[in-house]
Structures are given as C-alpha cells and as structure tokens.
Structure 1
Amino acid sequence: MKNKNTMAKRCVSLALATVMALSLAGCKAGGNDAPQPGSGTTGQTQAGGSAAGEKIVNIGVTNTLNTLNPLLMDGMEMNKYATGLMFLPLMELDGDMNFEGMLADSVTAEDDRNFLVHIDDKAVWSDGQPVTADDVVYTALRICSPTIGNMAMMYYVFEGVGDDGFVAEGADHVEGITKVDDKTVRFTTKAPMSLITFNSSYARYLMTLPKHVIENMSEQELMSDPWFNRPDVVSGPYKVTEFDRDHYVSYEANKDYWKGAPKIDRLNIKIVEGSQLYAGLKSGEIDVTQNTLSAIPLEDYESIQALENVTTSFGEPITNQSVFINTTSITDARVRQAMVYAIDRGQILEQLLKGYGEVSEGFLSSASPYFDDTITPLPYDPEKAKSLLEESGWDRNRTIKFSINSDDSTFVNAASVIAAQWASVGIKAEIQTMDINTLMANAAKGDFDVMAIQYTYPPVDPYADVAWLLGGEGSWTGYGNDKINEALSKVSLTDDVGQLKELYSIVDRQVQEDVPMFSAYIIKTMAGVNKRLVGARPSVYGFLNHVEQWDIAQ
C-alpha cells in the first residue's frame, strides 16, 4: 500500500485545483468590459442565427479559464471542457456517470497494471490524417517533460516516470506508455490500479495532440505558442476562433468532424457573474447553463423556473459543503461529535438552500454508486452535544477559529447559523471569512480549527481525495485511522461496485464516529436551457459529449 498512499498524497495538487474550481464557481476574474461574443460586438447573436443565417449558441459559465493547452491541463473542469471541444479526451463520463469512449472506443485492463487504450478506427484529425497511437504516445511524453513541468497530471504512477512526475530531460520515450500498433497504446503502472481509477484520473484528462502538426516545436514553444489558442487541426467538433481567458471563448464548427459535422455553426462560452445568468437566460443572450460550471444564485432559482423560454433541471447532488476539523487542534472525538449534534442541518438545507440538496454523512452523496443509504446522519440533538462536551471536559472559555470562503455567500449565512447553534451548547467560534487563496494557504499550514469549503468528491472514483484528506500528518485534517487505511488499500485493487460500496461504507462509518470532517449539506444545482435549443441536456457529467448533435428548433 505504500505506493498507493504515495499516489494519494501526490494527488493533493489536483485535489486542490478541483476544490478551487468549484469554490470559485460564482467568481470571475477581471471585469466585464471586454467585447462579448453574442452581444453584438462581433456580429454574432444568440441562438437562432445571425445576419448571415448562422446557428449560434452561447453557453453561460461562471468559472474562469486558465488554458486551452492540453499539456498544461490541471484539475479545473472548466479548462478540461473548453479544451475537450477541440482535442477529445480518450474517455468521458456520460450523464449517467458511465464511461463513454470519446477518442478511444475502448479501454481494457490486461491485468491490474497494464491498460490497453484502443483509438477509434474512424478517428481522424480535421486535416484528414488518422489519429494514431503515435499521437497519444507523443502527447504523454510531453506531459511528462520536466521542461513543461506539469505535476498536476500525476504521471508518476507510470513505469519510467520519476516520483516527481517527469522523465529525464530530453527523454524520447516513456517506458510505461508504449505503442502496441497504429491504434493501440499500452499504459503500465508501477503499482496495481483499478480500471475505474485509470479511466477517471487519466483517460478523462489525456487530450491527444496532432504529432504531425506540432512535433517540430521545442518544449519551450509548446508551453506558449499561440497555435494552442487557435489550432488549425483538431480531433473534436469545434475550433477556437477567439479567446479571452477572463471573458469568453469563441468556436467555429469543425465541418470535418469524424463523428458528424456539428449542426451549430458557432459556439461561445461566455464567462459572466452568477448574478448575470438570469438576465442572460431571459433575454436569450445565454442559451444554456451547466450545473457545475454555471453557479446560478439560489435567490434566482424561482425566477428562472418562471421563464417561459427556459427549461430548468437539477443535477445530481455532488458538490459537498465539507467542514474539516483540525484533529491536532480539537483532539477529542467527543467534542467533534458534539459539533455535529449541535447543528440543525435540516433547517439550514430547507431555509438557506430551499431544499435543493441533501444532508449526508461522510464523503459520498446519493449520486455515488457506492453510497450507503443505511448510514443515518447524526441528528440535531443539542442535549446530546452538551452531554458529550461535559464528558470531554471541554473548556467553555476557549474560542475556536472557524475559517470560511468569503465568496460563498450561502455558506457565509450558514456559518452564522452554525456558530450560533454551537454557542448555545457551549462552543465559542470566531468566524473568519477570507478569499479562497488565503483559505487554501491557511489550510496547507494547518492554521485553522475548523474550515469549510465546497468540495466535489468524484462519485465514481473518490479514492484520491478521501485518501489525502484522511492521510494523517500533512493532510488538512491531520487524521489517520488504520481501519480506514486497510479499506482504502483494497479500493485500489477492485472494480466491483458491490465491494467498493462496502469499502467506502467502512470509511464513512468511521468518519461519522471520529468526525475529522462532516458535511454541512450537499448542493443540488440548477441548470437552464433555452427551449429553442434542441439536444442540449444539462447534466453534471457528459454535457458536451454529443454537442455536435445540438440544433436550433426552426
């Protein structure tokens, strides 16, 4: 289990990136003064066409965008989806959270260390050249380059890659990523890995580049060449025409897309404030939003539901408002239990979230195939909380530091309720609001007693995040447990859903008992789509898998 634990601890860079992506859902870098596609400044309009008769769709998002370069990819889903429109990932999750082939038509396990990726025989680049194993091997080699220096992709798990995630400078191959034939690549890991983890952590994030187009670029050029912001050869349904990282990405259809020419001629991702989504959906300047990339404020839910031109839906509850307890600071499990018993989580869910979510215990929500619905959340019981505090000898004069994200307006309100309920049983808490970067820096230093943040544990493969957060010294919680470690060691060796459910149940039950963290609530987010837009079905996963089939109703 040593190698697997090492993997979990190294996953922190990706985990933190994911946390920040979700926690910043309602924030946008920069102002909103730049010209916006679809606003009339580029000659484009909302869905329904333009003066030229083109079909144009605007996707409204509130997440910022860092890069369109697959070699610089991190854990932020916004980057992944925007880039994946041009360079398909090998696999992707669909709306039912099953793995679906995108560039690959299959990924199979030869054994627990060797995985065969077969590229779809029909896959071709937009210039007509076939997508080959050489393209995949070339892309993987560049991801492992110490010059490019991308640690977030976590390729240290593969044979021939150092523990830092890189091959030797100037290396011309990766020992554990090899061509089998023109359409097949073998990935060999250093330690056993489940097929689920390979697909979730690697196949979903490897977006293959056209070797024949860029192979003569130096690695320094690969990091900054403007080609990546407007590539002329792609494997996906769209090509970028304009890119402003703080405001928008504009695409034109790849008419030679091998899965079929897109019906929508131009697609725009518009980065806006959450407060602008209602007005955009109402006017038609925004045609569709997605559940995790578009943070619609709760106060706008009813107004959007009332729009005659918009159909609304709710995604699976996957965004967890997690509350982490520094167990090196609050050492007695009875105190940590008392903190949960003292909170009326049902009241917070109904009054602040208007019932759009659920209360669960531990890491998993009802969206996960491993969710154990026999684990009953600790109830609101202030008398039980007082009794536990009395048993523990809790110092009622002590004040704990309760650190929260100032950008999360819903939880800022929830934190006030929680602090008041703690005070009623004898726990004094000072709420410290701060921006996300400060919160993350303090978390890394352990400079908090209790910290709350929105966190998504991938429903089909939460292993890396769970193992990190319960990884003992150096993790946010500082908590470790032998029973949990044993269960997690078995997680890496199986793809059996029933067995995984049993193993994650062991983890969540122990977490409920020792309380290194708890869930304040799990959010069920809204999405909206203009009724003129056909084939677009907002979902937590798989939203863009078949974007080429979207159309405008005539």
Structure 2
Amino acid sequence: MRKERRWKKVLSALVLAAAMGVTAVGCGTSGGNTGSQPQGENAAATETAEVSDDIVNIGVTNTLGTLNPLLMDGGETNKYATSLMFLPLVELNSNLEFEGEIADSVTTEDNKNFIVHIDEKASWSDGEKITADDVVYTALRLTSPVIGNTSMMYYVFEGVGDDGFTEEGAESIDGIKAIDDATVQFTTKEEMSLTTFENSYARYLMTLPKHVIEQYTEEELKTAEWFNHPDVVSGPYMVTDFDVDHYISYKANENYWKGAPKIAKLNIKIVSGSQLYAGLQSGEIDITQPTMSVIPEEDYDSVEALSNVNVVYGEPVTNQSVFIQTKNVPDVRVRQAMLYAIDRKMVLEQLLKGKGEVADGFLSSASPFYDDSIVPVEQDVEKAKELLAEAGWDGSQTLRFYVNSGDSAFVNAANVFVAQWAAVGIKVEVQTVDFATLMSVAGTNDYDILAVQYTYAPVDPYPDVAWLLGGEDSWTGYGDDSVNEALAKTQTTSDMDEIKGLYSVVDQKVQEDVPMFSAYIVSAQAAVNKRLSNATPSVYGFFNNVEQWEITK
C-alpha cells in the first residue's frame, strides 16, 4: 500500500539518524521516536557541573545533536532541549493526553484536513504575538531542499514532494496554509488519524519567530549563530551556553507567557549512565528522566537507598525488541520454537529486578490500545523441540545475533537466551557491537537476529509498526495482508475501541508468526532531589510545567 511505503521511507531516514548516535522519534527509537525510538548508547562523560542553590541540573545520557529546530532529527534530547526555548504546537502529558502548548486546539472532521488554532495568549519573549504566519513560515523552512532536513516527514502534506521537500524557492505550501492570524490548516495527501498528526507532527513542529529569522537566507539558517543564543523565544528558557558533548545551560525567560519560571537557571548535563548514581548522591544532578537518563539496572538499589532523592519508575514503554530476519529464518515453526525455548520472566526478574513486564507484540500496558487478553508465550522446552522436529531443523545452522554492546543488561540477557536456545538444538552466536554499528547492520538486513531498545509511542504506534512489518526491506522482512489491512484502518477511524481491536489483530499475528518478540519492556528508574518541588520524572510531559518547578530552601 502507498501509505506503508511512504512510512517505510521516513523510518529508514530516522534509522540513519539513529546510526549517528541519536535516539530516533517515531521509530524513532528512537528513537524517538518517543516518540518512537531506538535507544542509543550513553554519551561521553561530562565535566563537573556547577552546584548551586539557585541552579537545577538535569542528568541525561542521550546525546545532543543541534539546538536549531530546522535541523532537528527528532532525537529525544534534541526535542526537549529545543522545546524549552521553542514550544511545539502540542505535547503529551504524563497521562498520555495531548495538551496545548502554542496551540489550544487541534481538530479534524475528515482525517485529512487538520485545523490548528493558536492560543490567543501565546506570545514571543519580545512581546509580539505568535501567529499562524510563524507556524507556516517554520514549516516552509522545514521543507526547504536548501536546508535539507530529511527527518521531519513532511512529504505527507499536499504540495510537498515525496522526498519531503518543496521546490527550491517556494513561497507557500498547498497543504499548510494560514486561515487567519490564529488558525493553520494542514492537509494530508492520504487519510491520517488525529493522534498520528498530533504525535508525529504537532509535537515536533517547534515554531520559530518569522519576524526575527526572515532576515536570514535559507543557506544562512543552517549555520546561524542566533540559534545557539536566541534572544526571542516562545518557551520558558533561553540557552546561554552549550557544549554538544557535555552540557546545555539556560536562563529563565522572564517574559514567558505562561508565567515566569521560578528557577532562574537550568543545566542539562550529558553524562554516562555510570555517573548518574554519583551525581544524584553528591547533588551535582538534581533530576533524571526515565528515557533520556538511563540509570544502569545494577545501580537501582543504590539509587533507591539515597536519602536525598525520591525514586520513581516510568511507565513500561521501552521495549527490548528482538527482530528475526524472516528471509534467513523462513520457517515459522523455527521462529515459534525460539520463543518457546526462552524464559523471559526469569530474565526480567533476575536482570531487571522485575522493573518492567513481558508482553507479546509491540504494545505495552502503557498504551491505551494494549490488549491484556493476549497472554505472553511462556517457556515450554518440549514444545520448542517438537516444533523444531516438525520443521526438520537439524541444528547445523548457526544464527547471528547482533546486540548493542552498550546495553549491559541485555548483553547478559542475550547470553541467557543463547544457552536456552542451545538446550533445544538452536545454535546462536552473539555479536556485540556499538550502537552505530548495530544500526548500520540493521540497514543491511545482513543478520539473523537483531536486538534494539525501541520506544513505540503508546498513543500512536502506527509509524513504527507499519515500518517494522513492512515487507522485505524492513528489519523483519515480514509482511502480511491482514496486518497491513488492520494498520491501514487505524488511520481512518477515531474510535478508540476500534483502534484497540485493530492493534490486537497485529499483536496476535506477531505472536503467531514471530517476526519479532519482546524480550522485556522496561519500567526505567528515575530520581529527583528532595529539594525540588513540582518536578516529577515522567516518560512524557517531563517539561510541560517546568516553569512551576521550585527549589525548596
């Protein structure tokens, strides 16, 4: 189907972004893509950050690519670091509900025309109103072939080419138009669900001030120093200094239209996972977030024992997905035997201290579309052996299993699985590689098994699932007409119960055919210093009310 092919193209671009060390969105995985998103390795260690009663330090382990919204690749740290300055149209909150940022409503009557209305209170820090022209101008720059951003997926809109770009020098986009000063209409080429529009577009369009940046040519916008120290913003903070490998420093926007922030200065510290415990203990890190700040599982007990922090566990959204290249393992009975042979519950309990869950398919219990009637397959060694015998498996083939060397918990889990597969007669050899190499291998399809931490957006898993089950060029090499039909229907209805039923069809089919399985879904640990109030680590909505964060004296 055309829609699936288009999503496949964009996810390929996002996977390439992930290969450069970025958590991709919508895939995603993801880097992003909260969004939906493959999770990369920890960033390099940082210098000691400033510790002060008036400064809050946020510890993250994902890397920063750029602070220019026009070049943003959807990496999670990029998204949140940028949105502190330039608000998106909407954002998810901690309850997985879309709430307005610049927009106060997003509606559609036909799943093709999406009407975005701008909050009448929304203003730039210089006092100018935020208008529909700002939104349209930003979209026009995002689709410029001169700027060349391949990650933002705008080819779905009328007037934008299938490569994601308008004609060079274009002054308008047919599918993105201002209706009046406060209203923008987005028109898609094909039907799209409201949640897909909100999650994949409205959450990632960081509107820029046209009256400021129109002074630059498109070529200049790629390197303009203004983006590193913007003096006109819509969000609660402005960047004062940053080092792409180590930190981002902010000062409060005293003219923030939602209210001046109570904390004058913020730092985002980019550290390795092994540094988070020490930073929380010393007070050099005040707060972490479940997906941007990966605390190693072996440190969970130590962090919980700290007297100066409160610990929370995020919703189970980070899926340790294991993809089987079905072209290389074509017999469904062999793939089923691989699933029956392993004890995922034991791995979850022993390696992740039970902080997570086991599920079959793509969706976790955090998703409104999760079907708890799909009972995960449990270990059954005899069943595995029977399936292999039926398939005529002689045990002579050695399967290559690629694993991220930076994910110590899953490296251990992979070795457990290899031993359990060997016990039923399946020989598997683990290949541990760094994240960039893992993504490069994924792009070649030259593997038998591949494991990636992947965050499927709970409210909008469609883009990722459509890509991953998208046929011979996908990570699974798997395609099925009933799956394609169910996925396509998720884009033509707003009925939540109907959408849940459609995703149930997909997850049930994945459980039966095993083009992938979930080793486990992580409920990641996060922590916040007790001196902070109104600040709660959450998978989504972490910064939604950052202006209300407060330091308790």
Structure 2: how far apart are the matches of 1:7 and 1:399? 33
Q: Structure 2 matches for 1:42-61, cutoff 5 A?
A: 45-46=51-52, 49=53, 55-61=54-60
Alignment of 1:341-420 (within 5 A): 341-420=340-419
Answer yes or no: is the 8 Å Cα contact 2:317–2:455 preserved in 1.
yes
Q: Is 1:13 the equivalent of 2:13?
A: yes
Partner-residue secondary structure (3-state), 1:87: coil
* Matches of 2:14 and 2:375, distance apart in 1: 31
- What residue in structure 2 maps to residue 42 of structure 1? none
In structure 2, the partner of 1:487 is: 486
In the other structure, the counterpart of 1:27 is: 42
Alignment deviations for residues 45-94 of structure 1 (CA, whole Å, 9 cap, x no partner): 23xx2xxxxx2111011111001111111121110000000000000000
Stretch moving more, 12-21 or 390-399: 12-21
459 and 24 in structure 1: CA distance in 2 versus 1, 3 angstrom threshold:
closer
Contact 1:123/1:130 (8 A) holds in 2: yes
> Matches of 1:110 and 1:179 in 2, distance apart?
18
1:249 aligns to what?
A: 248
Question: 2:161 corresponds to which residue?
Answer: 162
Kindly tell me: are residues 398 and 3 of structure 1, through their superposed partners in 2, closer, same or farther at Cα, counting changes over 3 Å? closer
Cα distance 1:491–1:24, how it changes in 2: closer, same or farther (>3 A)?
Answer: closer
CA distance in 2, matches of 1:110, 1:512: 35
Kindly report which structure 2 residues correspond to 1:314-325, keeping only aligned pairs within 5 A, or say none: 314-325=313-324
1:293-332 per-position Cα deviation (integer Å, ceiling 9, x unaligned): 0000111111111111100001000000000001000000
TM-score of the superposition, structure 1-length normalised?
0.95
Q: Following TM superposition, by how much is the alpha carbon of 1:13 offset from its aligned partner in structure 2, in angstroms?
A: 2.2
Contact 1:37-1:250 at 8 Å conserved across structures: no
- 1:3 corresponding residue in structure 2: 3
SS at match of 1:351: helix
Counterpart position of 1:260:
259
Aligned partners of 1:493 and 1:208: how far apart in 2?
Answer: 28
Contact map agreement 2:400 2:449 (CA 8 A) in 1: yes
1:25–1:294 CA contact under 8 A, matched in 2: no
Return the alpha-carbon distance in structure 1 between the equivalents of residues 95 and 197 of structure 2: 19
Unaligned runs of 5+ in 1: 39-44, 50-54
User: What is the root-mean-square deviation of aligned Cα atoms in Å?
Assistant: 1.2
SS of the residue corresponding to residue 72 of structure 1 reads coil
TM-superposed CA distance for 1:398, in Å, is 1.2
Distance in 1 of aligned mates of 2:358 and 2:331 = 24
Counterpart CA distance in 2 for 1:332 and 1:209 is: 52
Is the alpha carbon distance of 1:286 and 1:239 closer, same or farther for their aligned partners in structure 2, counting shifts above 3 Å?
Answer: same
Q: Distance in 1 between matches of 2:41 and 2:474?
A: 27
Percent identity reads 64
CA apart distance, 1:24: 4.9
- Alignment partners' CA distance in 1, 2:49 and 2:208: 27
Task: Give a deviation string over 1:365-418, Cα, whole Å, max 9, x none.
Answer: 000000000001111001100000000001211111111111110011011100
Q: Tell me the residue number matched to 2:215.
A: 216
2: distance between equivalents of 1:25 and 1:150?
21
Per-residue deviation, 1:273: 1.0
Q: Secondary structure at the match of 2:423?
A: helix
Alpha-carbon distance in 1 for matches of 2:309, 2:432 = 35
Moved over 3 A (4+): 20-26
Determine the structure 2 residue equivalent to 1:183: 182
- Equivalent position SS for 2:396: coil
- Name the SS of the counterpart of 1:115 in structure 2: strand
Name 1:52's counterpart in structure 2.
none
Q: Size of the alignment, in residue pairs?
A: 538
The code of the aligned residue for 2:3 comes to N
For residues 457 and 309 of structure 1, the distance between their equivalents in structure 2, rounded to whole angstroms, comes to 33
Residues 9 and 467, structure 1, Cα contact 8 Å, conserved in 2:
no
* 1:318/1:523 contact within 8 Å kept: yes
Q: Could you tell me how far apart the structure 1 residues matched to 2:12 and 2:504 are?
A: 23
1:346-369 CA deviation, whole Å, 9 max, x = no partner? 110011111011000010000000
After superposition, the Cα gap between the structure-2 partners of 1:360 and 1:434, relative to the gap in structure 1 and judged at 3 Å, is: same
1:280 deviation in Å?
0.9
Could you tell me the TM-score, scaled by structure 2's length? 0.96
Mapping of residues 271-290 of structure 1, within 5 Å: 271-290=270-289
How far residue 25 of structure 1 moved from its aligned partner, in angstroms, is 5.0
Q: Paired residue for 2:531?
A: 532
User: What is the rounded CA distance, in whole Å, between the counterparts of 1:26 and 1:429 in structure 2?
Assistant: 24
Letter in 1 for 2:306: L
Pairs within 5 Å for 1:1-150 = 1-14=1-14, 16=18, 17=24, 18-19=28-29, 21=31, 24-29=39-44, 31-33=45-47, 36-38=48-50, 45-46=51-52, 49=53, 55-150=54-149
User: Aligned partners of 2:46 and 2:531: how far apart in 1?
Assistant: 27
